[in-house]
Structure 1
Amino acid sequence: MSKHLPDQPVQRGYTMSPGSHSRWVLSSYFSLTLCFLVLGQIKAEKKLKFVVMVFRHGDRSPTKTYPKDKYQEDSWPDGFGQLTELGMEQHFELGKYMRKRYSGFLNETYSRHELLSMPLKNCPRYNQLQIETYTSKEFSNLVEPYKDFINSLPNMTGYSPKEIQDAYRWWILYDALLCEQIHNYSLPVWATDDVLNKLSRLSDIGLATIFGVYKHHEKSRLQGGVLMGSIIKNISNAARNASSNLKLIMYSGHDTTIASLQMALNVSNGKIPPYAACHIFELYRGDQGEYTVEMYYRNDSSVDPYLVILPGCSSSCPLAKFTELSSSIIAEDWEKECGVGVNGNKSSGAVVALSIAVFFLSIAVFIMLILYRSYRKGSLNYETV
């Protein structure tokens, strides 16, 4: 049967069999359904309004290393913890990708009214929570399969048997070896692929225990939730103030910054975020005025960012729902929950009192200096009659 557009008549003399009629009905139904789907997609067109990015710094030298490492700080051109040329290239590549991704959304040139870089703050309550975590049954169960391996590390690394039980040492050890491997430094003979894989897994466990495993929700409210609260606030402000020139906020942080955020949202893949990894929040406005939020995670420069779905919502999550699902990890009184409390207030009061005292003392000294100069001037100008 030849096909005809809806407004074209069927050729004269053509008769349709019952089977052909059924196929025609099904074909018409399919075409009509497809038409509605296409029209629905057109109707549901959305427009990007605001972006929040949380990214990790690029490649760097080790922040520290293990005692027996032959590559100490003087072995690195700029010392420990410094961004390398490779790290700069990774930042440049990330910047190029973001420029391409948001072409037409951001200006072609930098505008301070459109971009804002913000620092992150830490919570002093972490020390107490980490002590509790490392003595918990949950942590012991995770580490138990690696006990023999951990106990074998002191002979190779120079750490004492007590020191090597600290998960932070596992991370230092793995980070140092990884940095040396990336920059083609020769590794010790004991640093086999099997050893590196086990250290990688222990580092992942160490990172997980900082933000989860034990008292996960409380940790989220103290760390990742703090950042999430700021992100929600900025996204909500952008939705309320559609005429704002602010289009992009960038948070530059560490692997722990991204990990704390993703673990608070329950979207972590359990791996340490690689150099220049980036978690993206995009706010869209539909043609009916509704706002939705989409999340993406870029941890591989060779592919497009992975879509991240907040548990309990869709890939394009309504802003109200996104805010509701995130609210439980956002502390209303962060300082109180963080353990700053009375001691913190006393310390703050002491600082304020000291500042006031110094202020008035400075004024007194200033006045005395003026009087002294006036006195000196009067003495020098004194004439005998």
Structure 2
Amino acid sequence: MVNNLPRQTMFKCLPFLCLIIHYSTCNEYKLRYAAVIYRHGDRTPVDTYPTDPWGEESFWPVKFGQLTNIGKMQHYKLGQWLRQRYVNFITDEFDPEAVYVRSTDVDRTLMSAQANLAGMYPPDVNSTWNPKLFWQPIPVHTEPEVNDEILAMKKECKMYEKLKKVYLNSEVYKNRLRQYEDLMDYLTKYTGRKIRDYEDISSIYSTLKIEALYNFTLPNWTHAVFPDKMKSPACYSFTTATATPAMTRFMIGPLVKHILKQALSVILGDSKLRLSMYSGHDFTIGNVLNGLSVYNGNCPEYTSTILFEFIEKESEYYIQLSYRNSTEIVEPHVLNIPNCGELCPLQHFIQLYEDIIVVDWETECEEKYGWLLFFCGIISLSFLYTIVEAVKFYKKKDQYSEEYLKSKLLLNRL
């Protein structure tokens, strides 16, 4: 069977095969740490519109905004897929020191994480506590959304709100939105709701898409605009929260910093963590992809998943980003990191995105100090790389010591 595969396909599969067998034969690759961000599974509409014929909860299997049985199964299967991907990287039994799971404080994301873990960690002989129930409890951590700048990305930040206001009032934003004026007027007329921007279009698009998935008959007026004319502006809505480097810094900076700190702690031997999983929303996926300049313009589907995989090769460390955007179990495609490629040296990755790696989020969010700390953070990170390169030049030590030193400096900086 392998002999029948095209050579190009075999080469594309090689890095993934090396991860699967955990360098037992491909010993030049060694997976050290992985962070997985996924969207929740199938849900009912979060909200409907005034003229929606399906706007009553009685038409739906569960209350509005809740995870459905379809969504539970989607994540159960995703959990099984993650188990297979990391089969020789994590133990069969859940290890709280090696695996960490976090969710936004929303029912559908918490339940998605639990369904995912049910597929990932079916109970074995030692962990079976009820012979009639093929399930075991696995901890899922969360934080109230108003206190969560890392995953929910909803904690108040005055500096971000100021930057967002400037962007929304910019000619760049207004000129692009202007091309959808006829669409917004049309939607306003037929939905009974004032449609003003991309987010409003996305809200109606999402509701119609869910109703279509459930085979509900859509109103006749939708045929002229859904899905074709609505899809592009709806998907563009996932770029507006991270439209500028400064906005991106406040929006996804805490999450990127959090993942990098965990990875560096593992590399330095300070942590036994191997896998972190984050249960979020479509905007979580969209913000991260667009903030890292790898968003392809397609709306994140249910269970869409971003993989951050930190790989060691010959005592050097790399990061590989992969993405799967389907409700079906499909293999992710490796993302091409701008100016770095598919297998990006970790130090170079941090340097590329230094302007979005937040230094002190709480302090920078204060309008009084935000701009000053933003520029000071970039300057200090640049100075750090100068030190690293100087040490690299003068210290005649083995490669692992050099890489260890670089990791230590970067971790202290983060």
Is this a same-fold pair by TM over 0.5? yes
How far apart in 2 are the matches of 1:130 and 1:52? 28
Counterpart in 2 of 1:353?
A: none
Query: Structure 2: which 5+ runs fail to align?
Result: 1-24, 104-150, 370-414
**2:172 equivalent to 1:172:** no
How far apart in 2 are the matches of 1:101 and 1:223? 30
The aligned amino acid for 1:66 is: Y
Q: Post-superposition, which runs of at least 4 consecutive aligned residues in structure 1 deviate over 4 A?
A: none
The 3-state SS of whatever aligns with 1:295 is strand
Counterpart in 2 of 1:71?
A: 54
1:259 Cα deviation from its structure 2 partner: 1.3
Matches within 5 A, 1:178-197: 178-192=209-223, 194-197=225-228
**2:236 equivalent to 1:209:** no
How far apart in 2 are the matches of 1:250 and 1:44? 26
Give the counterpart of 2:44 among 30, 43, 61.
Answer: 61
1:87 Cα deviation from its structure 2 partner: 0.9
The 3-state SS of whatever aligns with 1:328 is coil
1:326 Cα deviation from its structure 2 partner: 2.2
**2:296 equivalent to 1:269:** yes
How far apart in 1 are the matches of 2:203 and 2:26? 53
How far apart in 2 are the matches of 1:193 and 1:89? 33
Counterpart in 2 of 1:144?
A: 178
Contact 2:266 2:272 in 1 (8 A): no
Could you say which structure has the larger radius of gyration?
Answer: 1
How far apart in 2 are the matches of 1:87 and 1:43? 36
1:295 Cα deviation from its structure 2 partner: 1.0
Give the counterpart of 2:322 among 271, 277, 296.
Answer: 296
1:44 Cα deviation from its structure 2 partner: 6.8
The one-character-per-residue Cα deviations of 1:238-262 (angstroms, maximum 9, x if unpaired) are 11117x4311001111111111111
The aligned amino acid for 1:55 is: Y
Q: Which moved more, 1:227-236 or 1:295-304?
A: 295-304
Give the counterpart of 1:306 among 320, 333, 341.
Answer: 333
1:43 Cα deviation from its structure 2 partner: 8.4
1:124 Cα deviation from its structure 2 partner: 2.3
The 3-state SS of whatever aligns with 1:122 is coil
Give the counterpart of 1:88 among 61, 72, 78.
Answer: 72
Counterpart in 2 of 1:231?
A: 259
Counterpart in 2 of 1:124?
A: 156
Contact 2:177 2:198 in 1 (8 A): no
Matches within 5 A, 1:1-385: 45-74=28-57, 75-119=59-103, 120=151, 121-125=153-157, 126-159=160-193, 163-192=194-223, 194-212=225-243, 216-241=244-269, 244-286=271-313, 288-300=314-326, 301=328, 303-339=330-366
- The verdict on how the C-alpha distance between 1:276 and 1:164 changes in structure 2, with shifts beyond 3 A counting, is same
Identical amino acids, percent of aligned pairs: 33
How far apart in 1 are the matches of 2:48 and 2:367? 32
RMSD: 2.1
1:341 Cα deviation from its structure 2 partner: 6.3
Contact 1:123 1:222 in 2 (8 A): no
User: TM-score, length-normalised on structure 2?
Assistant: 0.66
Contact 1:54 1:258 in 2 (8 A): yes
User: TM-score, length-normalised on structure 1?
Assistant: 0.71
1:134 Cα deviation from its structure 2 partner: 2.8
How far apart in 1 are the matches of 2:168 and 2:56? 29
1:195 Cα deviation from its structure 2 partner: 2.9
